[in-house]
Chain A
Amino acid sequence: MTNSISEVVDADVILVCGSNTTETHPVIGAQIRQAVNRGAKLIVADPREIPLAEEAEVFLPIRPGTNVALLNGMMNVIINEGLLDKEYVENRTEGFDELWEIVKEYTADKVGMICGIDPEDLKKAARLYATAERAPIFYAMGITQHTTGTAGVMSTANLALLCGKVGKYGCGVNPLRGQNNVQGACDMGCLPGDYTGYQKVANPEARAKFEAFWGVPLPSKPGLTITEILSGAETGDIRCLYIMGENPMVSDANLHHVEQALRRCELLIVQDIFLTETAELADVVLPAACYAEKEGTFTNTERRVQRIRAAVDAPGESREDWIILSEIMSRLGYENSFTSPREILEEIAQITPSYGGFSYDRLEKEQPQWPCPSPEHPGTPILHTAKFSRGERAIFKPSPYMPAAEQPDEHYPFILTTGRILYQYHTRTMTGKSDDINRIAGRSFVEIHPTDAAKKGIAQGDQVKVASRRGEVIVEARVTERVSEGVIFMPFHFAEAPANRLTNNVVDPISKIPEYKVCSAQVQAL
């Protein structure tokens, strides 16, 4: 997030696009609703009529995979009606002509056709957003999990820049990270091309710095992404895979392909707190302590570093992840010097400019947001207030709308989109262990529009078969107008009927994110 969560309660207009916030980030969802209580106007763009849509001033039930067209359309209206922040565009951005070159094609009428929405609603949304003083954009996987995910992300930024809403209180571009420490894992350099704090592997200076700090030579070539690693495993190029605290056997797209890849691995090491679907395929399973049994830090979606603390003992012989990893490193001939997570954060702070100001002592008193380069630095609640990471000016990176990789056809006439539900989390490794939760939301389902259900002879609660080119699952039908005609929705949490057996593992060319949000499917009554 460029801005802080608490700012949302002061917003005038809030644009939520591709985030079912009240279910997936409920505490932010509550704060969005607080803002609405105080008079803020809400714009919701989502293929489903998510709970927030009920209180939206404008709800845009867009066809899955059309975010870029929608955002281009909003920019088209804003520029045509002169609602852009001319001074901001002039002084703090470049590439406006290139932006216009692309978005000029996206008239409200055209976008209405592409997205399946009323052009007047699009105009209303654009005017509301552009003319508001404080207007944050919130988005999540509904923007990113597409073959055009990067273009979607860039387009949200274009929109905010166009209206001068970056670097200001109560505004910004605010991706909501789905997992507790996905921000931290990225910050820590668990990315094939980045060391900590986004210092680039490909940058010789950065590499030299880490080589000197760690005392070993380091590879210069950026590594492979998850999807590439799994493909590599399938072809035999990757022979050993070490998985710590992840469950790709439920979470990844096209599970059949994932399973094949994992089975081909010669040495599959899984370190986790439960014997997950992935661990069941492993050659070695290492039992880890969970968050309640150890010390450490998480970095939340607003870049805030906060402590976790041990409340109970880890069960049996399970150990903290860093201890297991250090043991292995030592056996591989590399000795770590630290003896506690406190010391690890000290090392991180030494080598990571944006984390330079963090220490366990400080985090007892305050929890600043990075960049926080020194112990005296107060942290950064709002990014880009004076300049951007690339310099004085941000550059518009416009993209034309590209349809999703798979389009409905005769055999697979529905668009299947996937997501989360309130009561479950990710692959249910954690939430699935609570009986009370499972009694409320213990089984998968597919949402289907009443008209489609009637055509297929499907009634509420029927067991149906949902199939795609990659597989099929049997789930319960929920007949509801929350989805539009031609669109079906499934949560991906449930290993018994995994939505990701159906999803398409075709990826965005830059981010390598699979297109979880759109694939073609068919539904049959059983």
Chain B
Amino acid sequence: MLNLVVDGQPVQVEKGSTILQACEKMGIEVPTLCYLKHLAPEGACRICAVEVQGVKNLQFACAALCSEGMEVTTMNERIAGFRRIVIELLLANHDADCFSCPAVGSCELYKLAMDYGIEKSRFKRTKKPRPKDETSEFFNYDPAKCILCRRCVRTCNEIQSNRTLSLRDRGVRTSVSLPFGKVFKDSSCVSCGNCVSACPTGALTTKASKHYRSWELTRTRTTCPYCGVGCQMDLLVKEGKVVGVEPADGPANPGILCVKGKFAYRFIGHPDRLKTPLIRKDGVLSPASWDQALDYVAEGIKRIKEESGPQAIAGFASARATNEDNYVFMKMMRAAIGTNNVDHCARL
């Protein structure tokens, strides 16, 4: 363990911890942009500047390691001035049309500018952004809003390991791009959307996000209903409808999802959903009340059980339903009907 002092308060951290981790432990907020928990620290955006006593230059909390006896200051006039310049530099080449931006409300650059009292950058635009790419079925890419934190590129390469996104050109002309000038539609992109989840601004946004603002949403932590990995995720709900999904940091999913988890949520409120019980009458499935349907089912089961015994009845439980639902199903078959003829599609 290492002992250090941050903003005058002592703290103990494990060897190998970064200054940012020490700050997190103490509940001290240090702004970050290029930092994401599961990515290797990049130390590139420079917004997390802090002072370390006895070190001339500012240090960068997301990547700098703690050492024994270190004294860290996370805010003073020098640090604030430095961060302000960094924000102004980012804003200069950022297309700040916030009114029409899907990221408004969740934009990390916007929040930083607000926090540091910057309404307008003193710097001017110096580059012409590359064209938009709206060819993905699921998301849009607007390079004019990109601040080159590279969270998307690193997520695609380090975490999703799909190597679809890369950088082209250098210096101020650097841009996030797909190799060989391809667009998303014709690329190796697997539509996982993890780059979109990683983007701090409106550069990568889901197509659906045009229709909501972050403050209109409620979030519900849940488990993905698709394959057996059990990814943790948040359902984004606006006015009683699921409008999006964001990955959470689950034991099985380090902050990522796949295309199904991220984008295949439209079935939830789909108009084709069954809304009433149906009973077949004269060969046609017709709406019925719950009582009618449940009585129909119970009477039928009772009759067949009386005539042919419980072994003439069988049930398929569901690999899709919850443990609780399956338990009750199994209990119904065994305890209420009296048969072990219960199975499910474990084999499919």
A–B in direct contact per CB < 8 Å: yes
**Are B298 and A316 touching (Cβ within 8 A)?**
no
Residue of chain B at shortest CB distance from A303: B230
* B-binding segment of A120-128, A397-405, A425-433, A454-462: A425-433
**Could you tell me if A284 and B293 are in contact, using CB atoms closer than 8 angstroms?**
yes
Q: In this assembly, does B329 line the interface, its C-beta being within 8 Å of a C-beta of chain A?
A: yes
Query: Which residues between 198 and 253 of chain A lie within 8 Å of chain B, taking CB atoms?
Result: 201, 210, 214, 216-219, 221-226, 229, 232-233, 237-246, 248, 251-252
A179: Cβ under 8 A from any B Cβ: yes
Question: Is the Cβ of A512 less than 8 Å from the Cβ of B347?
Answer: yes
Assess whether A81 is interfacial by the CB under 8 Å rule: no
Complex CA–CA separation, A317 to B138 (angstroms)? 32
> Is A221 within 8 A of B340, CB to CB?
yes
A82 an interface residue at 8 Å Cβ cutoff? no
Question: Nearest chain-B residue to A265 (Cβ)?
Answer: B314
Pairwise interchain contact B270-A179, C-beta atoms closer than 8 A: no
* In the bound complex, CA of A311 to CA of B223 (Å): 12
- Nearest Cβ in chain A — how far from B41, in angstroms? 16
Contact check, A245 vs B225: say whether CB atoms are below 8 A apart: no
Q: Is A252 a contact partner of B348 (Cβ separation < 8 A)? A: yes
Tell me if A384 counts as interface (CB < 8 A to partner B).
no
Once the chains bind, are A181 and B319 in contact (CB under 8 Å)?
A: yes
> When chains A and B are docked, how far (Å) is the Cα of A400 from the Cα of B95?
66
Q: Chain A residues near B295 (CB, 8 Å)?
A: 331
Contact with A along B304-347 (1 / 0, CB 8 A): 10011011111111111111111111111111111111111111
A222 pairs with B228, CB closer than 8 A: no
Closest Cβ of chain B to A344, distance in Å, is 4
B285 interfacial by beta-carbon distance below 8 Å:
yes
Indicate if the CB atoms of B324 and A425 lie closer than 8 Å.
Answer: no
From A22, A36, A299, A316, B276 is in contact (CB under 8 Å) with A316
B266 within 8 A of A: yes
Query: Is the Cβ of A180 less than 8 Å from the Cβ of B320?
Result: yes
CB atoms of A248 and B345 under 8 A apart: yes
Inter-subunit contact B322/A341 (CB<8 Å): yes
Decide if the interface of chain B is mainly helix, strand, loop or mixed: mixed
User: At the interface, yes or no: B30 with Cβ under 8 Å from chain A?
Assistant: no
Given A188-B317, A237-B312, the answer on whether A30 and B330 have CB atoms closer than 8 Å is no
Residue A422, interface by CB 8 Å: yes
Distance to closest chain B CB from A271 (angstroms): 8
Interface residue from A327, A348, A422 paired with B259 (Cβ < 8 Å): A422
B137 touches A439 (CB 8 A): yes
Find out whether the CB atom of A307 lies under 8 angstroms from the CB atom of B222. yes
* Distance in angstroms between the alpha carbons of A219 and B341 in the assembled complex: 10
Specify which of A241, A280, A307, A434 is in contact with B264 (CB 8 Å cutoff).
A434
Whether B273 lies near A273 (C-beta < 8 A) is yes
Which B residues lie within 8 Å of A196 (CB)? 327, 330
Q: Determine the distance from Cα of A425 to Cα of B260 in the docked complex, in whole angstroms.
A: 8
Chain A proximity of B227: nearest CB distance (Å):
5
CB distance from B334 to the nearest CB of A (A): 6
Report if B183 contacts A (CB, 8 A).
Answer: no
Give bound CA distance, A341 to B334, whole Å.
19
> A294: CB under 8 A from chain B?
yes
Q: Is the CB of A425 within 8 A of B264?
A: yes
Instruction: Report Cα–Cα, A28/B335, bound state, in Å.
Output: 38
Return chain A residues, CB-CB under 8 Å to B263.
Answer: 434, 436-437
CA distance A131 to B159 in the complex (A): 27
Residues of A participating in the B interface, judged by any CB pair closer than 8 Å: 4-6, 22, 24-28, 30-31, 33-34, 36-37, 141, 144-145, 176-193, 195-196, 201, 210, 214, 216-219, 221-226, 229, 232-233, 237-246, 248, 251-252, 266-267, 269, 272-275, 279-280, 282-288, 290-294, 296-302, 304-313, 315-322, 324-329, 331-334, 336, 341, 344-345, 347-348, 367, 422-423, 425-426, 429-437, 439-440, 511-514, 516
Known: A223-B314, A292-B242. 4 other contacts (CB 8 A): A180-B227, A190-B344, A239-B307, A332-B332
Ranked 8 nearest A-B pairs via Cβ: A316-B275, A300-B230, A296-B322, A245-B318, A223-B340, A33-B161, A177-B228, A26-B258
Question: What are 7 inter-chain pairs, A to B, with CB distance below 8 A?
Answer: A184-B322, A185-B323, A219-B340, A296-B323, A313-B240, A332-B337, A440-B137
